[in-house]
Amino acid sequence: MNQTWLFGMQSALFLLYSISYTWAVHKFCTDHFTCINKRKYFFLVLFSVLYAASNIIGLSGLLPYPMGLLLPLLWQILFFFWVILLYHGVTAQKVLAAALLLAVRLLLQHFTESFLHILTLILLHTIHIEISPFIEHSIDCLTYCLIFFSTVWGTIRLKTHMTGFLANRLPRWYTMLSVPLIVIILLWDFIYIGASHGILLRGSDHLNLYYNQLFSHVGIFVMALLCMCGMAFYLFGMDRIDIEQRQKEQYRAQVSFYQMLEEQYCSLERLRHDLKNHIIGLQRLIANQEWDKMSDYLHKMADSGDIECADDLTGKSIVDALLYYKKSNFSRLRDSLGSPDFLWECDVHIPPECPIADFDLCVIFGNLLDNALEACQKLPAKADHFIKIHAHMVKKCLLIEITNSAKITPDCQKGIGLRNVKDTLDKYNGTLNIYTDNSTFRISILLPCLPAAYDINRSV
């Protein structure tokens, strides 16, 4: 009677754990994918019941020998299909998410289980008491509770630390990360099969059952710990490498873009230098009333100098060009949405003696304005769209403030653009502060302009 009651209690624990784990997995997946709304809850409940049933059947030993060992592998295959079919997204991305969740679950379960068995074996061996089947089953229930708690807790923590981890990557990046995780899953399936046949790791022949069991659980504990550490270093290391690679690519693209702007301004300066001769030629065409030739002449002047009238005169021609380009993008966004509630406010004054390199100024203004434009693009058409740019000297420092309308999210303070800005600020010992409220994002930068504060050669 007691054994039946304990088995029912264990079954209830498995069902509660399955529901909690399914909920945690679903929350993790909805952070990265869009869930299929049709019959969503039906599939979630069905998966919880199947997961609980597989654990209960494995616990009861009802299945014959081969099927009992293959049951976890079959459930893992079902888990992959469940994630792939229930959520929208790139298939390689969903495979990586499923492999990550499975690997974390397996490692946490084996790690916690081995640790608890080590403590139990040492305790029972120390106090030298004979335990009854009831106490043994009670210890098993407590062990299951702690294992289930650690697994659900680990999945929830994974959701917290992996925000944005699966976003904006190439498919081959997902595949490259999935393969080692799948290998880890298969490795622990092999360990499970070995443990089901008896003691997986065995010491010397003179050791008794207690020491062999202790040796076995210590080995599994250490292997699980090493696998978790290796998986964490691999995942976050690859994430960092990918971010740095994209940062370098964006940096190179910005270099090319700013060089192009500088070439355009140099061309414009040459045109201005020859402007006197052009005026003489145009006056002669006007005197002869050769209007067609004058029109062609003006077009050639515009093409040769790529003339655009920039409204914002900051004291740095390259910054003028950049601001004009970004303002044009803002105007195109306004025209595409057909909304009149757009405000571009620019008050930038950079003195000629400012020692900050033109390119570094473009990196700062360019990245911050790109982020501001992207934030405005994400707002609905009826919302207020504004970008306010202010820059001026405060004592011996250049103060730059950019304020824009935005939908404030936890990820709004992240991005490769901000990393480029911070790298540039490091060269000048500058500071950066971010302020947000419900609909406004403001970033403030303070750059020391004392030549002794940094080595100007590093910024070139």
Question: In whole angstroms, what is the distance from residue 78 CA to residue 233 CA?
Answer: 28
Average pLDDT, the chain: 79
Is position 54 within any domain?
A: yes
Is the model's pLDDT at 453 over the cut of 50?
A: no
**Are 13 and 87 within one domain?**
yes
Q: What does the pLDDT read at residue 384?
A: 84
Q: Are residues 234 and 94 in the same domain?
A: yes
152 in any annotated domain: yes
pTM of the model: 0.62
- 126 by Cβ neighbours in 10 Å (0-12 / 13-18 / 19+) ranks as exposed
Domain that holds residue 198: 2-250
What is the percentage of the chain residues whose pLDDT exceeds 70? 77
Domain assignment of residue 98, yes or no: yes
What 3-state class would DSSP assign to 266? Answer: helix
Does position 183 have pLDDT exceeding 50, yes or no?
yes
Classify residue 268: in a domain, yes or no: no
Any domain includes 256: no
Residue 287 domain-assigned? yes
Q: Which of 12-21, 219-228, 257-266, 357-366 has the lowest mean pLDDT?
A: 257-266
* Residue 264 maps to a domain: no
**Is the same domain home to 231 and 346?**
no
* Residues 296 and 337 placed together within one structural domain of the fold: no
Nearest alpha carbon to residue 342 among 372, 301, 304:
372
Span 289-321, pLDDT tens digits: 778 777 887 777 666 554 444 445 787 777 887
225 in Cβ contact with 111 (< 8 Å) = yes
Query: For residue 207, is pLDDT > 80?
Result: no
- Amino acid identity, position 406: A
294, 436: one domain: no
Tell me, yes or no, whether 300 and 326 share the same domain. Answer: no
Percent of the chain predicted with pLDDT > 90: 16
From 302, 388, 390, 377, select the one nearest 332 (Cα to Cα): 377
Query: d(Cα 289, Cα 309) in Å, to the nearest integer?
Result: 27
Pick from 30-44, 134-148, 215-229 the range whose average pLDDT is largest.
Answer: 215-229
Pairing between β-strand 34-35 and β-strand 342-348 as defined by DSSP bridges: unpaired
Beta-carbon contacts of residue 75 (< 8 Å; ≥ 6 apart): 50, 51, 54
Residues 15 and 130 reside in one and the same domain? yes
Number of domains in the chain: 3
Q: Measure the CA–CA gap between 250 and 81, rounded to whole angstroms.
A: 36
On whether the CB atoms of residues 370 and 413 are closer than 8 A, the answer is no
Let me know if residue 194 belongs to a domain. Answer: yes
Q: Which two tokens stand for residue 58?
A: 């494995």
Domain match, 222 and 358 both:
no
Angle, CA of 316, 323 and 377, to the nearest 5°: 160
Does one domain contain both 15 and 84? yes
Q: What is the mean pLDDT of residues 112-125?
A: 86
pLDDT average, residue stretch 234-263? 75
Residues 396, 299: one domain?
no
CATH number reported for the structural domain that contains residue 319 in this entry: 3.30.565.10
Residue 455: predicted pLDDT: 45
Q: What is the tens place of the pLDDT at every residue in 136-161?
A: 777 777 888 898 899 999 988 888 77
**353 and 440 fall within a common domain:** yes
The C-alpha angle 337, 341, 345, rounded to 5 degrees, equals: 115
Determine how many CB atoms are found less than 10 A away from the CB of residue 213. 20
The per-residue pLDDT for 404 is 92
Per-residue confidence (pLDDT) for residue 202, from 0 to 100:
54
Average pLDDT estimate for 71-91: 86
Q: Are residues 47 and 92 in the same domain?
A: yes
Pick the range with the lowest mean pLDDT from 5-9, 204-208, 246-250, 280-284.
204-208
Residue 7 has pLDDT above 70, yes or no: no
C-alpha span between 407 and 331 (Å, rounded)? 20
